[in-house]
Amino acid sequence: MRRNSVMPQLAMVTGAAQGIGRAIVERLGADGFDILALDADETQLSRSAADWREAGLTVRTAAADCRDRAAVIKALDGVEAVNVLVNNAGISGVLDPIGQVNRAACDRVMGVNLLATIRVAQEAVRRMPDGGSVINIASRGYLGGAGAAHYVASKAAVVSLTRAMAIELRWRGVRVNAVAPGMVDTRMIDGFGDMLGALKRMEPTGAPANPAEIAAIVSVLAGPEASFVNGQILMADGGKSLGLPPL
């Protein structure tokens, strides 16, 4: 339990309704945090919220498109302190060669993956006590890859944003780190279509990560055990970034 017996600790999680975000809510809730869960998918968020209530977690939900600053501010109404922020909201968008990706697709991916991350961070950090923690969910994809240049660029920007924020906020003792997952077993990978089976077999472990495995890393970064970790990008890709072949 990380909850302070006098003052509950609040963790704010975006993209919380499913996949990695839902796993993070459940892990941090089990760690003792109160949760503020944001997601643009109101229907899925309501379904998840029912499960969280049944599990006994303390979760306040807000249906919000994090690209919309007014919606983020509304979600934070009445919140005095955000102790931990997990910027998880993200999309892969259309997977096409750079010459075929239209402006609308680029704008949407950059808007959700980068601009929303900035806007949420701005509002949360204003409410964050000294000693807080920000965890941005990037992607192993920031290293580069064909067929998703706009997505790769958005996640590389999140990595740079993480490092810049770590430098700026260190004077307050606020740590800023990122987790860069490889393939994770969520609905996002359904976009690979017929290639999915082959891509899974190419993973060093022979399978994608489980969302709970990513949430476990976030749990450590959110807590005092990681007090000396700042400005880091933690790869969670089964060793793929090392060039490891499948087992």
| CATH code for the domain in which residue 154 is found | 3.40.50.720
Higher local confidence (pLDDT), 182 or 164? 164
Share of the chain above pLDDT 70, in %: 89
- Flag whether 243 is in a domain: no
Report whether pLDDT(3) > 60.
no
pLDDT band, residue 109 (cuts 50/70/90): very high
Share of the chain above pLDDT 90, in %: 70
pLDDT the model gives residue 188: 67
Known active-site residue 151 = yes
- Flag whether 3 is in a domain: no
pLDDT the model gives residue 198: 60
Catalytic residue among 151, 169, 186, 218: 151
pLDDT band, residue 183 (cuts 50/70/90): confident
Determine the average pLDDT of the residues in 56-68: 98
pLDDT band, residue 193 (cuts 50/70/90): low
pLDDT band, residue 51 (cuts 50/70/90): very high
- Flag whether 62 is in a domain: yes
- CB of 171 closer than 8 Å to CB of 156: no
State pTM to two decimals: 0.92
- Flag whether 137 is in a domain: yes
Q: Could you list the residue range(s) of the whole structural domain that residue 109 is in?
A: 10-235
- Tokens at residue 73, please? 């501010």
pLDDT band, residue 126 (cuts 50/70/90): very high
- Flag whether 69 is in a domain: yes
Q: Which residues of 51-70 are buried (b: 16+ CB within 10 A; e: fewer)?
A: ebeeeebebebbbbbbbeee
Tell me how many domains the chain contains: 1
pLDDT the model gives residue 27: 98
Report whether pLDDT(146) > 80.
no
pLDDT the model gives residue 94: 73
Please, which residues have CB within 8 angstroms of residue 226's CB and are 6 or more apart in sequence? 133, 175, 177, 220
- Flag whether 5 is in a domain: no
pLDDT the model gives residue 1: 45
Report whether pLDDT(220) > 90.
yes
pLDDT the model gives residue 144: 80
Q: What is the mean pLDDT of the chain?
A: 90
**9 φ, ψ to 5°?**
-95, 135
pLDDT the model gives residue 184: 81
pLDDT the model gives residue 182: 82
pLDDT the model gives residue 5: 44
CB-CB neighbours of 80 under 10 Å: 9
- Flag whether 241 is in a domain: no
| CA distances (Å), origin 199, targets 145, 191, 206, 240 | 13, 12, 9, 12
- Flag whether 245 is in a domain: no
Q: Which region holds residue 37: left if phi is over 0, alpha if psi is between -120 and 50, else beta? A: beta
